Structure formats: structure tokens, C-alpha cells
Amino acid sequence: MVWWAFLTLSNPTAWLKFGLFSVGLGQSFAFVLVPPLARDLGLSVIETSTIFSISAIAWAVTSASWGRASDKYGRRNIAIIGLIGYSVSIVALITPLFLVEKNVLDLAYLLPLLILGRLINGLIGSATRPAAFAYMADITDRSKRTKKFARLESSFLIGTIMGPMIGGFLFLYSKTLPFYVFALCGGIAAIGILISFPKNIDQKASEKIVSKLSFRDTSVWPFLLLAGLFSLCQASLLQSIGFFITDVFSNEKDLPLVISLTFVFLSISTVVSQYIFTDLSPIPNNKLLIYGTFLVCISYIQAALSTSIALFYLAMMVNGLGAGMVRPANASALSLAQTPDDQGTAAGYLGSVMPIGHILTPLVAMPIYQYSPEYLYFFSAFLCFVALLFIIGHPLLRDHEQASTTTS
């Protein structure tokens, strides 16, 4: 038992997973707790949403650069920088709220300080994900890449599930305690990566030629387009669930609990899907993309037509099953289509596309929701249908292994 624990502590992959888990803890709890706390202190809904939108824009702008930096300066160094940035941002996000609540800080400084705190996460915290996935691509055989990517993704998703649970318990003792604990977890993960990472990998990385891979390359842009479509669908879903349940199922008792359970069902089904279809019974990437996109499309139609909360829960579970197929398959297929020297850059490009949904949702999705809540989910179903046609029609997505530039 002691030997197994030692191997785990000396395993850089385990520390990367713990790092992504820590990021998931803080990200989900920040989305749950910061908006109501900020509103109680006097910020408007628009001001609060601006905090997260600016961070998403910063994430989109910097992620590709961090991916290229991991190719040049090493996965370990960039992953550590990202985790430190995440930990600092979590503390910087909650501290102004605490100081204003205690009347130590004037309310006029709250919004700019909250933007600054969240901006740190967008500018620096965005470094961890591309470095982690690029490292996994470095050490993983092609045949196992989808499974390994899914496990990394699951680490983050499990963190998003546990964040509100653990944070809610710690919140009973102190409003600031969850954020400091989650920041500490990020710091521990950074130390673990620093100690456990093999030094020869970073030494080789410094000798690599700087990647010239462009997001416009034919081996990149199809995957980014898919990621952008799914990002908009997912972000609009996450930001509308609370409104939709409140508006459509207002007769339900204890609406906060009903809304929380929706996120739990969605996240758990995503993790289960990733385990079943990429680990227990692996399915090729092209089929994962097709089957997953089809399920997500059906789930949005079902959500729009739901006449009871039970049917809406079922729609969210189907959505999670589909998302659990699509996300690791798209990331793995992009990785397989690149040379070893371009893994960090490719992962960075993918990371830069993921926040697009949170940037566009206030501009595209919410106006549709205000016109009719059901129309938003029909719109998402239409986007998924377009994505499905694109997957079936594009040779790189339909048969990416043969189009890959790497060798086994």
C-alpha cells in the first residue's frame, strides 16, 4: 500500500489530473457563489456577468500562446505557471468580496478588483490545460490517446461536480474558506508537478524548433470549428438552465435544489460516458464524434419539449452522454493529426476556442432565450445538426487516422 502511494505521488500524470481537478473545484464554485454574493453587495447582473466574460476573452486570447510556450519551454513549467495563476486568481476573486462585506474596502473598488482577480485566471490560469494535454500526447501511444485525454477531461469534470459539494460544506464555516482551500489545492498540485516531472522532458522541449502551426491549417481548423459550435451550445445551456427551470417549472418545490441536481446529472453522465466509451468499451474517434453529436442534438430537442422536470433531467443525462463522447474525441483527433512538435500549439488553439461560447452567449443565446426559452434549445439542436453534417462530410473528421501526419 505504501509502495502504491509512493508511485502515485511520483507520477506526473497523477499530479496533472489533480491539478485539473483543483481547477474544476474552483471554477464551478466561483460560478455558483460569486454572482449572488456580488449582487448582494450591490453589483448588477450585467456587471457580474462582465467579470466572467472578460476572463473568457483573456482565456481565448492567451491559451494558444501558452500552448506554444509549452512546446518551447516545457510542459512542466507552463503547467506550474497556470496552476499558480489559478490559485492567485481564486484568492484575488474572493478577497475583495470579503473586504467590502466587512466595510474595509469601498464598494466603488469591488467591480474592478473582481475583474482583475478573474482576469488573472484568464491570462495565466489558461496555461495549465494546453500543457497538460500536450504532455499526455507526448507520452501516450496513438491507440490510447482518446482514453488518456478522456481521463484528463474527467478529472476536471469531477472537480466541477465536487466543487459545489465541498465548497458548500466549507461555506458553512466561512464564506472565504472554500476559495482558500481550493487555491491551496492548486498550489499543492503545482509543487507535485515540480517534484515529479521527469527533467529530461523539459530539457528536450527547450531544444525544439518553435512551432509554425497555424489555426488555419487544414489539420487544425475543422476541429476548432467543431469545438466552437459545441462551446456555444454548452455555454448557452449552462447559463440558461437556472432561468429555464425557474420559468418553465416554477411549480416545483425547492427550485435551487432542482437546479443543482440538473448540473449533477449533467456532469455525472458526462464522466460515465467518457469512462464507458473511451475506456471500458473504446469506440473510434470518428464514431464517437458522430454518435455523440447525434445524442447532444436529440437532447436539446427533448429539453425544449420537456413537459416535466423528470423529462428535462433525462434530456440533461442524454446531453452529458453525448458531450462525454465528443469532447475527448475531438481533442484526441486534433492531437493525432499533428506532429509531436506541434502538440502544445494544437492544444493551445483548442483551449482558445473553448471560452468562445461564454463570450457569445450574452450576445447570441440570451436574446433568443428572451424571445422564447424553448427556441434557444431548438437553436442549439440546429447547430448540432450542422456539426453532424460537417463531421460526416469532412474527410479529416470522417477518417482522421488516415489523414494524420504522425506515425505510429
134-174 tens-digit pLDDT: 888 888 887 777 777 777 877 887 887 778 778 877 877 88
Q: d(Cα 367, Cα 88) in Å, to the nearest integer?
A: 34
| Burial of residue 143, with CB atoms counted within 10 A of its CB: 0-12 exposed, 13-18 middle, 19 or more buried | exposed
Q: d(Cα 217, Cα 208) in Å, to the nearest integer?
A: 20
**Do residues 386 and 367 make contact, with C-beta atoms less than 8 angstroms apart?**
no
pLDDT tens digits for range 272-331: 887 788 777 778 888 889 999 999 999 999 999 999 999 999 999 999 999 988 988 888
Task: List all residues 6 or more positions away from 23 whose beta carbon is below 8 Å from its beta carbon.
Answer: 83, 86, 125, 128, 129, 156, 159, 186
Q: Which CATH number fits domain 211-408: 3.40.50.1970, 3.30.499.10, 3.10.20.440, 1.20.1250.20?
A: 1.20.1250.20
Residue range 390-397: mean pLDDT, rounded: 86
The pTM (predicted TM-score) of the whole model is 0.75
- Report how many helices (DSSP H) and strands (DSSP E) the chain contains, helices first: 19, 0
Q: How confident is the model at residue 211 (pLDDT cuts 50, 70, 90)?
A: low
For residue 371 the three cell numbers come to 424571445
Between vectors from CA 222 to CA 211 and to CA 385, what angle results, nearest 5°? 160
- Higher-confidence residue: 233 or 262? 233
% of the chain at pLDDT higher than 70: 90
Whether the predicted pLDDT of 32 surpasses 90? no
Q: d(Cα 18, Cα 182) in Å, to the nearest integer?
A: 11
Range in 22-26, 104-108, 152-156 the model is least confident about:
152-156
Question: Within a 10 A sphere around the Cβ of 349, how many other Cβ atoms?
Answer: 26
Whether the predicted pLDDT of 40 surpasses 70? yes
Long-range pairs of 242-251 with CB within 8 A, sequence gap ≥ 24: 243/369, 243/373, 244/303, 244/312, 244/369, 244/373, 245/309, 245/312, 247/373, 248/306, 248/312, 248/373, 249/308, 249/309, 249/312
| H-helix or E-strand spanning residue 324 | helix 309-336
Backbone angles phi, psi at 238, to 5 degrees: -60, -40
Domain with CATH 1.20.1250.20 in the chain: 11-209, 211-408
Class of domain 11-209 (CATH, top level): mainly alpha
Q: How confident is the model at residue 202 (pLDDT cuts 50, 70, 90)?
A: low
pLDDT at 2: 35
**Do residues 305 and 369 make contact, with C-beta atoms less than 8 angstroms apart?**
no
**Do residues 368 and 375 make contact, with C-beta atoms less than 8 angstroms apart?**
yes
pLDDT at 345: 79
pLDDT at 183: 94
pLDDT at 203: 45
pLDDT at 6: 41
Question: Within a 10 A sphere around the Cβ of 149, how many other Cβ atoms?
Answer: 28
* 234: amino acid identity, one letter: Q
pLDDT at 318: 96
Whether the predicted pLDDT of 355 surpasses 90? no
Question: Within a 10 A sphere around the Cβ of 140, how many other Cβ atoms?
Answer: 17
